[in-house]
Structure 1
Amino acid sequence: MLGMLFNEKECKELDYVLRKELDEMLFDLSDQRLDQDIRNAIANRYKTVFRMYARFAPQKELSKYARNSKLSQFKQ
């Protein structure tokens, strides 16, 4: 486990970067042209980034990025 200290500006920047990364991965996961192996790799990475974001995001913001894994399995 690593610990890091961020000032307010750095926290806002990290929040922004993680949200943009989650948005981009959601967009990629909705692209049916991508190979299933690539989509699985993106989904695994999404879980990791989402857990990072969940450590400090408000519940209301977090709900925007929550994925229902059972539903996403059927969409693939």
Structure 2
Amino acid sequence: MLGMLFNEKECRELDYVLRRELDEMLLDLGDKRLDQDIRQVIAKRYKTVFQMYARVAPPKELSKYARNNKFPQLKY
């Protein structure tokens, strides 16, 4: 396990960066033009970034980014 110490300003910046990244990935996951394989990779990365965000965000904020594990399948 790796530990890091952040001051208050750095925590706010990390919070901001993680939220922006989660927002971008949510947009990409909603884009029907992307290939299903790419969307699965983004979903896996989203889970990792969300876990990082959960360490610095209050529970009320987490609910905004919580996803259902099932995501829509593309139909060909």
- Please state which band the TM-score falls in when normalised by the shorter chain: over 0.9
Bigger shift: residues 15-24 or 53-62: 53-62
Q: Give aligned pairs, total.
A: 73
Name structure 2 gaps, 5 residues minimum: none
Give the aligned partner of residue 60 of structure 2: 60
Say which SS state the counterpart of residue 3 (structure 2) adopts. coil
* Paired-residue identity, %: 81
Say which SS state the counterpart of residue 69 (structure 1) adopts. coil
Deviation at 1:46, TM superposition (A): 0.1
TM-score (norm 2): 0.92
TM-score (norm 1): 0.92
* Structure 1 runs of 4+ with >6 Å offset: none
Deviation at 1:56, TM superposition (A): 1.9
The question of 1:11 aligning with 2:1 is answered no
- CA RMSD across the alignment: 0.7
Name structure 1 gaps, 5 residues minimum: none
